[in-house]
Structure 1
Amino acid sequence: MTLTRPAIPRLLTLALGALFFALNEVEGFRRRFSLHDESIQYPYTLHERVPDWLLGIVCLVVPAVTMPLVNLISVRTLWDLHNSELGLILSLALAGSITNILKITAGRPRPDLIARCQPASGSENPAVFGLVDWHICTQTSQSIMRDGWRSFSSGHSSLSFAGLGYLTFYLMGKLHLFDERGHTSKSWISVFPLFGATVVAITRTMDYRHHWQDVFVGMLIGLATAYFSYRQYYPSLEHPLSHRPFAPRYAPITDAAESEHPTDSSSTVPPGDNGKGKGPDEEQGVVTSARVADEGEIDHEAEGTVPRGRPPNLERVWSEKSRISTRRSVTRTEV
């Protein structure tokens, strides 16, 4: 179990990444359209302002390089470096997979669909329903045709906000943006990556690759996956130790023997503790010993980390809820 359980989240993240690339080759749904629809009669842009290779630099390389530099300046721990990069990959994999699923199922025409399609000469909308399908197109490039019905939602928008949005949350945590001291400089530094993501999203409408609704929904997807992924590895942005990552759930193999005996730790804090109403040692969110989490499992509080919320064992949670439900049913029956 020690070998497999810690690897499961990483394997799932890799599976999501593989799904993202696999969905690019899937023939999705192609919605019918009107030849007189002005919203899809824009010209086809040959050279995009933000091509795919540049998008990769913006959403992956920039955060992946910036976070280690911030780590070096601030906490200087390998565990924070590990968590930050893994969370970034999770955010991008989630955003990419969700976006591609929407693309191939929604089948919304892009603003430049007519230019891509190149309808046969003399084509007209049918008199009954007034909509035509892709069979009237004379375009010979299958990739151009397949991509013409993938307007919703914007992949550039979702991926840029997933990557740079994750970097924004990372900076917010490291700078303690919500410490109620009102430092404007920290706000500007934290949200600056979002300006870059916004520019990338806007270029998609400038190139007539997406409608504004596609870009907006892509932005929401990216921000949602970024925050979701960040919170898997870091405490709330309002936490007194928001600059520290969560503690490891499982001990390394070399520490297996030591994990049976809790050791003292002076630099961790339980999630949700606001430092109020505690003793002298707990006032700053400090705990003095590792906590036994569940039947042999230990919350491994590495130095410079924040203990994870409890309880960690879902099987125990489910069984406890089942017992509570059963007791309530018995009580109601007796009454």
Structure 2
Amino acid sequence: MIIQPRTRKLIFSYLPDWLLTIALAAIFFSLDKVEGYRRQFSLEESSIRHTYAVHERVPNIALYFICFVAPVLLQPIVNFITIRSWWDLHNSTLGLILGLALTGSITQFVKITVGRPRPDLIDRCQPPPGSTDPEFGLSTWLICTRTDLLRDGFRSFPSGHSSLSFAGLGFFAYYLAGKLHLFDKRGHAGKAWISLAPFAAAALVAISRTMDYRHHWQDVLVGSILGTIMSYFAYRQYYPPLSSEMSHKPYSPRIKRERDAIIPIHHNDRSSSPSPGPSNGNENSNTYHGFGQGNHTAYNPPAITRRYTDEPISGDDYELAGTVRRPDPGPLEEVWKDGSLERQELDRVRSTPTGGDS
């Protein structure tokens, strides 16, 4: 099978994303085998004297189904019902896995470095009968008579079930919200409930961790916040804001059409292209809302031509069909230059004396 040069470029443009995602997933599973830090604890601390639950309400295998398998199966269905775009299918899958891998690796790293005891630590530890804390200081894991459950017993913060469930189902919630145009300013409660349903499921998973005495409430709260933030971070890499009129479409591929590649980014020279209207002897007296009020000198920012638009792209190019043109302000040097020119112009206008206060 012959791969077209354009297709080959498209594949290689997203290869770093996939490699990074795979690397983060590998880090997540590798850190699970690392011996983490084990904090000192008090044998009299009631918050860590709960009973060890042999059977969890949401075991690991169920968690992986909830946070990964379910969204992977449901997102193509939503895609088929709505825009039927293969590129949307790619972006949603990549974004979901990226969010999960990023969340998981951060969660595991914090777990092994913080080493907070779980609420059931004393039951895992099984200290000798009659044991007490040292006269000066606290007890350590060396006092334990049962050690097979100790490594996981010091990984309470943050909750991995909470962070991963909110990362996976949170991404699916954002995906639904984008497809339904949740923030279209029309106020349909039904769309809100549908979009929030995945978050409700994630919340149930998180709450179950306190019911099993696997986590303190702080662990669950921080894990949930972490998963929510990371899922939105991953979503925004490949989709426009939920407030966008094109929120139901993914960003277009990074490989541009040939005719787009030759459109320059430049600054229009206002001295050669004066704005219409009376000037009153001042070349910068054009009306500008927010600055040009009354007798004050109007601020007219440098006109900048960019290649980015938020309009739908015609379907004559396979890579842009059913997508939103990816923001492309040009090289960073141009972006920095644009901001510098605008600041200079604004400073110049502010320092110009007003004409009506003489």
Do residues 286 (structure 1) and 311 (structure 2) align?
Answer: yes
TM-score when scaled to structure 2?
0.75
The answer to whether the 8 Å contact 1:301/1:307 transfers is: no
SS state at 2:51 partner: coil
Given candidates 48, 54, 57, the residue that maps to 1:40 is 48
Paired-residue identity, %: 55
Letter in 2 for 1:114: I
* Whole-angstrom distance in 1 between the partners of 2:109 and 2:313: 47
Matched residue type, 1:27: E
1:301 shift after superposition:
6.0
Partner Cα distance (1:306, 1:219) in 2: 30
Q: Report whether the alignment pairs 1:135 with 2:142.
A: yes
Aligned partner of residue 116 in structure 1, secondary structure: helix
- Equivalent residue for 2:151? 146
Offset of residue 244 of structure 1: 0.2
SS in 2 for 1:261: helix
- How far off its partner does 1:308 sit? 1.6
Deviation at 1:6, TM superposition (A): 2.8
Does 2:97 align with 1:89?
A: yes
**Cα deviation, residue 250, structure 1:** 2.3
Aligned counterparts of 1:133 and 1:288: Cα–Cα separation in 2: 63
Unpaired stretches in structure 2, ≥5 consecutive residues: 1-7, 262-308, 345-358
SS at match of 2:124: helix
Indicate if the aligned counterparts of 2:67 and 2:168 stay in contact, CA closer than 8 A: yes
Match of 2:322 in 1: 304
The partner residue of 2:161 within 139, 156, 181 is 156
Of 254, 258, 277 in structure 2, the residue corresponding to residue 249 of structure 1 is 254
Instruction: Write the letter of the residue equivalent to 1:136.
Output: I
- Which has the greater radius of gyration? 2
The answer to whether the 8 Å contact 2:310/2:325 transfers is no
Deviation (angstroms), 1:315: 6.8
Q: How far does the alpha carbon of each residue in 1:2-43 deviate from its partner, in whole angstroms, 9 at most, with x for none?
A: 464431111111110111000100111000000000000000
TM-score normalized by the length of structure 1: 0.80
1:52 is matched with 60
Match of 1:269 in 2: none
Q: CA deviation at 1:287?
A: 6.1
Count of residue pairs the alignment pairs up: 288
2:314–2:320 contact (8 Å) kept in structure 1: no
Deviation of 1:232 (Å): 0.4
Tell me if structure 1 keeps the 8 A contact 2:313–2:320: no
User: Is the aligned partner of 1:20 residue 2:28?
Assistant: yes
- 2:353 alignment partner in structure 1: none
Q: In the alignment, does 2:118 pair up with 1:110? A: yes
Partners of 1:128 and 1:27 lie apart in 2 by: 27
Structure 1 residues 312 and 246: CA distance shift in structure 2, 3 A: farther
More moved, 120-129 vs 187-196: 120-129
**What CA distance in whole angstroms lies between the structure 2 residues aligned with 1:90 and 1:114?**
36
Partners of 1:241 and 1:306 within 8 A in 2 = yes
Tell me the distance in 2 between the aligned counterparts of 1:80 and 1:168.
Answer: 15
1:165-176 superposed matches below 5 A: 165-176=170-181
Q: Gapped runs of 5+ residues in structure 1?
A: 252-258, 264-283, 291-298, 328-335
**RMSD over aligned Cα, in angstroms?**
2.7
